[in-house]
A and B are shown apart, each in its own frame.
Chain A
């Protein structure tokens, strides 16, 4: 298809009828300024080709002038070598007309025209084709992405064109549809994470799992029954062994026999114990008889021996008594000497102590006397000081008053007139004041009225000014003088100097008093009371000591010598005490021991005589004891023989243990058998109940049912798994086929775009993704993502891709004009020139229509220039 002319009336800004005539059908350029109406013409052509004449809606409304009207659009088109004119008027009274310009005859009108034109156009340029190669102004920058954002059949149009080229790749739509069905079926069964929740597979797996669990439970229940049956079987066998009455009776009889045997042995053991007790009694009796005889004989021997020893002791006793008494007297004499020497030493110590106390008493008495004197002196001087009026405060006050007065005097004088006397040579001494002659050069400050007398002349009165301040100063001065005079009177001085002399004297006395006080504190730091107390204390101590007062005067060396002599004598005496005491003690002990042994001997003799009896019956007593021993010896022998006889017939310990063990075992066996019989009966009842309960529940049947149901569920799961496997493999196969066909499909497109790329970018290659959208540019071996390229490059590539689309369509028998509305807005001069070359090359395959507002920039594009011209519209068709 080629556009040969376009005419519009009441379309957008074109209220008047205008036409663009003279399209070459190759490269046509409509250049003009902004708001010329280029985009309006673009949209008008688009509407004419794609919308039926009776359409309404946004597209029609946008092209209706503000002032109203019915958009009329007309185009002369060359389709398959024939010229056609299509005219459509939209709006309230829509109309359409298709004219065969070769035959100059109207082919169809109104709806028929739409249909006829649609059929005519459909083989050349449907909306899909137009969408691929008609680039509106605002879309120029974006790379084409067919069927985005909505499906207009652009991909299919391209696919058909390419398939026309390849002749082999067909049925992509069906493959898509089948793949979609496969995906849908797979999605119903599984997700990427596993079975789809609630899906057929999920339900089958859940059913399978539930059945498995139920089956396990049923199997466990049946196993319990079978286990109970086995146990019951064993239990009944066991009951036959231990629970039968004959078995129990036999066990009881065995137990009774064992007990009887044990009782018999126990009786024998009792008899033996009794015989052994008898032996013990006999042996004890025998031992006592022998002991009595032995003791009687021993006592007789001891009596003779003690009597001999007593006679020896009694003979030595008088000598021992005398020796003890002598030693006692010697010890007492030594101790009396010691006491005497000690008394003498004490007396000497008292004397020495008295001498010390007397010395210290004298010292403290002297200190007390000095302290009492100083205390009196201090008291007198302190009183005098207290009464002295010449205090430092008064004298300092007098001094300050005097100073203040002097300051006032100086101020009064400064404010008073000064009279200087300067005599002439002849009259010197003529001026008098208060009668006294004033010398030449004398100055008188008239602090108060002064009357100068000049004999022969008169009196001159000079008065100071009567200012108020002067009066205050004079009053203050008088008050100061008055206060000073009073203070001087109190101090007892006539003037300040006198007062200061009195104050100096007072200070001198004050220092002397301080020295006295310091001396007193040195002598009696704690006052006089401690001194008085010490004196009284020492006097008391002295009174309490016993000594000869005359000895106080004794010589110290002599006293020391006497003390040392007494001490040595006393030490010697005391050292002799232990010797005398030990001698006395030894003698006393020897005496006491001898007396005790004599007493003890006499007592033993007395006791033995009591035991043995009088001498005349002792032989008879001995004979009785000897006869008794003979009898008990015989009894003991008989008892021992009896025990021996019993021990010979009694079973030994091992046999006894064996008998007891037999009894114990028999009893235990019997009890165990009874207990086990009871337990077996109880267990049997429980097992039967358990079996009946489970059996009546029908769990066995349910188990068989579950086995069948699970078998079915397993089958279902396996079927679905196989189905999933088949679908996944099918999906894999379809994807592999899609990959292969995409490469095939993209090849012609890449082939068509390559020459255009070479013109603009040199050696370069464009890669496309599914959907025929450009994905990346490969230049110099580097791959660059499209969206990373500059706006200008993207715009250029967008046009080149559309050129490839248009060329494919043209080669497929659908030569749709490439329509560019204000393109290459971002391209530099060099690139624009290269792009112009590409457009010129493309126009060799299909028509290229460029609408631009940059007339000068597009001068180099060449091609056929078309422009707006008035159109004499004929509305009568």
Chain B
């Protein structure tokens, strides 16, 4: 009576990435669809027949027919897998919502929509207790019914829900609260949760799988699915984390004081992924650095950007320090005075114009260099 399945969630198909340039946005959108193929591949490799999606298959309710059907076609091709789809807060089971629309599309047999809170037999002796959401937010714990849900004696009980077992402090997640002890109270062998985009172990029987394809610079650990194995009812599940993301999203903040510091930072970034082309990096550099080195920092960033899939560099916290021997300003008393004026502001942590002054300094250095170089 052992059961092995894949736990995943938060695909959010249809999410556009228009806050990125088109070159990257298209790839990110495509990656969210192709992750289905990669999950199917993992299922094949691990000889898994069931994929439990714990909510938010779609990014929204008001989506076009193409967006609605894209994941369906992908899943239908993976005939060796049965896909169990749970409505989440992004795609709640509402009248004329995505699930009702799908029901009018003659879904293939390997796709099951769990839009009713009642036990479903996954396999003989394996019962699935879904807690579909019917709205973006609900006041009551949608898993509460599981405590009273009857299943045959000795059956493996697997809960499937979408919500928070604690406040994640993110406006992105739903305002649906789930009792952290639900697995124990409802005698569940495993509670598969969605909503939290990073994978997370709440307790021995309660897990968040996280999104299989990250969509933001994370504070958690997205980009994988969980392969869960339950040997028998009451046995502690064995959970394996399997990476499946196309892109690696990362954000890093560094403090530098000299141009030489960049070499170490470069090495750390290299270690983030084997393939820099998969890396989407948000890099923030802070600290005081010689004004003449600013251009070098910018050049270093430009080189890095060319190597990565996407680099979002934030140098606004980089405060330039002007040396007396900076050739550009040594030739002009007025420019030197202006630099002194701006440096005074940039050096003052209590001055609200600090960052503006830093930017002005960098701009002054650039313009003066252009002027000296005769660059019209």
Minimum distance in angstroms from B141 CB to a CB of chain A: 20
* A-side contacts of B15, CB under 8 Å: 704
> Are B331 and A171 in contact, CB atoms less than 8 angstroms apart?
yes
Minimum distance in angstroms from B278 CB to a CB of chain A: 21
A727 touching B96 in the complex, CB below 8 Å, given contacts A175-B334, A703-B60, A722-B316: no
Indicate if B303 sits at the interface (CB-CB under 8 A): no
> Are A229 and B64 in contact, CB atoms less than 8 angstroms apart?
no
* A-side contacts of B370, CB under 8 Å: 181
> Are B19 and A708 in contact, CB atoms less than 8 angstroms apart?
yes
> Are A696 and B65 in contact, CB atoms less than 8 angstroms apart?
yes
Residue from B25, B316, B364 whose CB has the most chain A CB atoms within 10 Å: B364
**For window 290-349 of chain B, which residues contact chain A by CB distance below 8 Å?**
316, 331-339, 341-342, 345
Tally of chain A residues near chain B (CB < 8 A) = 59
Q: Report the separation of the CA atoms of residues A722 and B353 in the bound assembly, to the nearest whole angstrom.
A: 10
Minimum distance in angstroms from A720 CB to a CB of chain B: 12
> Are B59 and A704 in contact, CB atoms less than 8 angstroms apart?
yes
A174 touching B356 in the complex, CB below 8 Å, given contacts A701-B64, A708-B16, A722-B316: no
* B-side contacts of A715, CB under 8 Å: 19
Indicate if A700 sits at the interface (CB-CB under 8 A): yes
> Are B334 and A172 in contact, CB atoms less than 8 angstroms apart?
yes
Minimum distance in angstroms from A15 CB to a CB of chain B: 50
Indicate if B61 sits at the interface (CB-CB under 8 A): yes
A729 touching B94 in the complex, CB below 8 Å, given contacts A177-B371, A696-B65, A740-B337: no
Minimum distance in angstroms from A695 CB to a CB of chain B: 5
* A-side contacts of B19, CB under 8 Å: 707-709, 711-712, 715
**For window 21-79 of chain B, which residues contact chain A by CB distance below 8 Å?**
25, 59-65, 67
Indicate if B360 sits at the interface (CB-CB under 8 A): yes
Taking CB as reference atom, which chain B residue is nearest A222?
B62
* A-side contacts of B272, CB under 8 Å: none
> Are B94 and A229 in contact, CB atoms less than 8 angstroms apart?
yes
Indicate if A501 sits at the interface (CB-CB under 8 A): no
* A-side contacts of B101, CB under 8 Å: 695
Tally of chain B residues near chain A (CB < 8 A) = 49
A178 touching B335 in the complex, CB below 8 Å, given contacts A232-B96, A687-B96: yes
A694 touching B95 in the complex, CB below 8 Å, given contacts A175-B335, A736-B341, A741-B337: no
Minimum distance in angstroms from B56 CB to a CB of chain A: 13
Q: Report the separation of the CA atoms of residues A701 and B60 in the bound assembly, to the nearest whole angstrom.
A: 8
* B-side contacts of A732, CB under 8 Å: 341
> Are A171 and B335 in contact, CB atoms less than 8 angstroms apart?
yes
> Are B95 and A729 in contact, CB atoms less than 8 angstroms apart?
no
Q: Report the separation of the CA atoms of residues A738 and B357 in the bound assembly, to the nearest whole angstrom.
A: 18
Q: Report the separation of the CA atoms of residues A229 and B364 in the bound assembly, to the nearest whole angstrom.
A: 57
**For window 135-178 of chain A, which residues contact chain B by CB distance below 8 Å?**
168-172, 174-175, 177-178
Q: Report the separation of the CA atoms of residues A170 and B331 in the bound assembly, to the nearest whole angstrom.
A: 6
The 8 A CB mask of A211-245 against B (1 = contact, 0 = none) is 00000000001100110111011001000000000
> Are A737 and B371 in contact, CB atoms less than 8 angstroms apart?
no
Taking CB as reference atom, which chain A residue is nearest B335?
A175
> Are A729 and B360 in contact, CB atoms less than 8 angstroms apart?
yes
Indicate if B97 sits at the interface (CB-CB under 8 A): yes
Taking CB as reference atom, which chain B residue is nearest A712?
B19
* A-side contacts of B17, CB under 8 Å: 708
Minimum distance in angstroms from B376 CB to a CB of chain A: 10
Indicate if A498 sits at the interface (CB-CB under 8 A): no
Residue from A694, A706, A707, A729 whose CB has the most chain B CB atoms within 10 Å: A729
Binding site for A on B (CB under 8 A): 14-20, 25, 59-65, 67, 94-97, 101, 134, 316, 331-339, 341-342, 345, 353, 355-357, 359-360, 362-364, 367-368, 370-372
29 A/B residue pairs, CB under 8 Å, sorted by A: A171-B333, A172-B334, A175-B338, A178-B335, A178-B367, A228-B96, A229-B61, A230-B94, A232-B94, A232-B96, A687-B95, A688-B96, A697-B64, A698-B67, A701-B63, A701-B67, A704-B18, A705-B18, A707-B18, A708-B18, A708-B19, A711-B18, A722-B356, A725-B359, A729-B353, A730-B338, A733-B339, A733-B364, A737-B338
